[in-house]
């Protein structure tokens, strides 16, 4: 019932070959770089994108199978409601990352601050616009005091299927 | 080939009954409020979410059919590459909004700053975390000087199917 069908518009290439050891967030990646190969049919849709320094990537968390409604997230040691976390095993396996766009050459996007596993199917690109996307009066629930600036934090295998 | 299948986790209810006149961004909504009805099976996944003031909603742009690779976006008068815009007609019709979470009662989320059409199927919720999601050294391409603070901006029918 109500199936919604999407198809990749490209593939993300990075140095992270499995979910274990992949950074848990772009800002925790230590500046990791990667590329995105956009399928040829979509090249005209990339026009004007190179004026933006940051882009949202929406992608298929293709290694994630199944999910639990309560999980122990990275940066915590007790179970939290899944939707209060960014854990990759979700009812709909959609990943969201904001990465830095370095340059575009034909159908290849060069990106930085990457927290994505190699071979991940890309679903959409949207420009990051600070006056739309930056928020004020923010509360971050259980994550308060759990995030340290400038550290690098990589995944373990807790969300692997195996 | 490579079909990716998602299913709604709930439905978004707002006062906007068609895409025309719906705000083009949460920050352009004039504080519009709405509710999200989460399907009962996912209620445990909402635990701990009420500690967050802002949430990402990923949803199916269910009224959008088809797409063009170059579009004249809101806030501009010339064609731009689709991926350099937030236009709703896209190869994969995934909408992304950051809304303010007012409160949760059982399976109902009360939200503010809503730019979403009534009846939209919800795909995912992720917490907004400023230290992950706020960016620095930002460039916004063609949108530079086109965004005025505090104005309300609503859609016309340019992206309608009819």
pLDDT tens for each residue of B65-92: 899 999 999 888 899 999 999 999 999 9
Judged on CB neighbours under 10 Å (0-12, 13-18, 19+), A62 is middle
Q: Answer yes or no: do B134 and A139 touch at CB < 8 A.
A: no
pLDDT at B150 (0 to 100): 60
Residue B161: pLDDT band with limits 50, 70, 90:
low
Whether the CB of A153 is below 8 Å from some CB of chain B: the reply is: no
Whether the CB of A132 is below 8 Å from some CB of chain B: the reply is: yes
pLDDT at A132 (0 to 100): 86
Given a cut of 90, whether residue B156 has pLDDT beyond it is: no
Collect all residues with Cβ–Cβ distance below 8 Å to A56 and sequence separation of at least 6: A96, A97, A98, A124, A125, A126, A127, A128, B96
**CB neighbours (10 Å) of residue A40?**
9
What stretch of H or E contains A49?
none
**Total residues found in chain A within this entry:** 162
CB A45 within 8 A of CB B70: yes
Closest residue to B134, CB basis, from A50, A127, A134: A134
Mutation target vs A (from B2, B3, B4, B39; most A CBs, 10 A cutoff)? B4
pLDDT at B122 (0 to 100): 98
Mean pLDDT, to the nearest integer, of A15-39?
89
Closest residue to A142, CB basis, from B2, B48, B81: B48
Q: Which stretch of A47-56, B94-103, B116-125, B139-148 has the lowest confidence by average pLDDT? A: B139-148
Q: Give B30-72 pLDDT, tens digit per residue.
A: 889 999 999 999 999 999 999 999 999 999 999 998 999 999 9
Strand partners, B84: none
What domain count does chain A have? 1
Q: Answer yes or no: do A69 and B45 touch at CB < 8 A.
A: yes
Whether the CB of A78 is below 8 Å from some CB of chain B: the reply is: no
Q: Which domain holds residue A38?
A: 12-102+111-133
Task: Identify whether A77 is part of a domain.
Answer: yes
Task: Identify whether B148 is part of a domain.
Answer: no
Please state the ipTM of this predicted complex: 0.93
Average pLDDT, chain B: 92
Whether the CB of A152 is below 8 Å from some CB of chain B: the reply is: no
DSSP class of residue A23 equals: B
Q: Is B137 helix (H, G, I), strand (E, B) or coil?
A: coil
Closest residue to A6, CB basis, from B6, B85, B133: B6
The number of angstroms, rounded, from the C-alpha of A153 to the middle of its chain's C-alpha atoms is 14
Strand partners, A120: A12
Task: Identify whether B46 is part of a domain.
Answer: yes
Which of B136, B149, B112, B121 has the alpha carbon at shortest distance from B37? B121
Task: Identify whether B4 is part of a domain.
Answer: no
Task: Identify whether A156 is part of a domain.
Answer: no
CB A76 within 8 A of CB A158: no
Task: Identify whether A155 is part of a domain.
Answer: no
Write out residues 111-130 of B within 8 Å (CB-CB) of A. 121, 123-130
Task: Identify whether B2 is part of a domain.
Answer: no
Q: Answer yes or no: do A142 and B46 touch at CB < 8 A.
A: no
Whether the CB of A142 is below 8 Å from some CB of chain B: the reply is: yes
**pLDDT above 90 as % of chain A:** 69
Q: Give A83-136 pLDDT, tens digit per residue.
A: 999 999 999 999 999 999 999 999 999 999 999 999 999 999 999 998 888 888
Q: Domain of B75: which CATH number?
A: 2.40.30.70
Q: Give pTM, 2 decimals.
A: 0.94
Q: Answer yes or no: do A54 and B138 touch at CB < 8 A.
A: yes
Distance CA B149, CA B136 (A): 19
The alpha-carbon radius of gyration of chain B (Å, integer) is 16
pLDDT at B152 (0 to 100): 77
| pLDDT top residue among B104 and A158 | B104
Task: Identify whether B127 is part of a domain.
Answer: yes
Closest residue to B94, CB basis, from A26, A50, A124: A124
Angstrom CA distances, B53 to A82, A84, A135, B23, B96, stand at: 16, 11, 10, 21, 17
- Give the DSSP per-residue string, B120-132: EEEEEEEE--HHH
């Amino acid at each position: 019932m109500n199936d919604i069908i999407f198809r990749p518009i490209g593939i993300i290439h990075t140095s992270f070959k499995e979910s274990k050891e992949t950074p848990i967030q772009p800002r925790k990646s230590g500046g990791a770089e990667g590329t995105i190969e956009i399928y040829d049919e979509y090249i005209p849709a990339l026009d004007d994108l190179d004026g933006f320094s940051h882009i949202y990537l929406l992608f298929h968390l293709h290694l994630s199978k199944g999910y639990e409604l309560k999980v122990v997230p990275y940066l915590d040691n007790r179970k939290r409601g899944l939707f209060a976390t960014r854990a990759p095993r979700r009812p709909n396996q959609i990943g969201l990352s904001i990465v830095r766009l370095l340059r575009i050459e034909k159908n290849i996007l060069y990106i930085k601050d990457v927290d994505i596993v190699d071979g991940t199917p890309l679903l959409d690109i949207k420009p990051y616009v600070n006056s739309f996307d930056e928020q004020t009066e923010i509360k971050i629930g259980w994550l308060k005091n759990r995030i340290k600036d400038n550290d690098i934090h990589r995944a373990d295998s807790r969300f692997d299927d195996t």
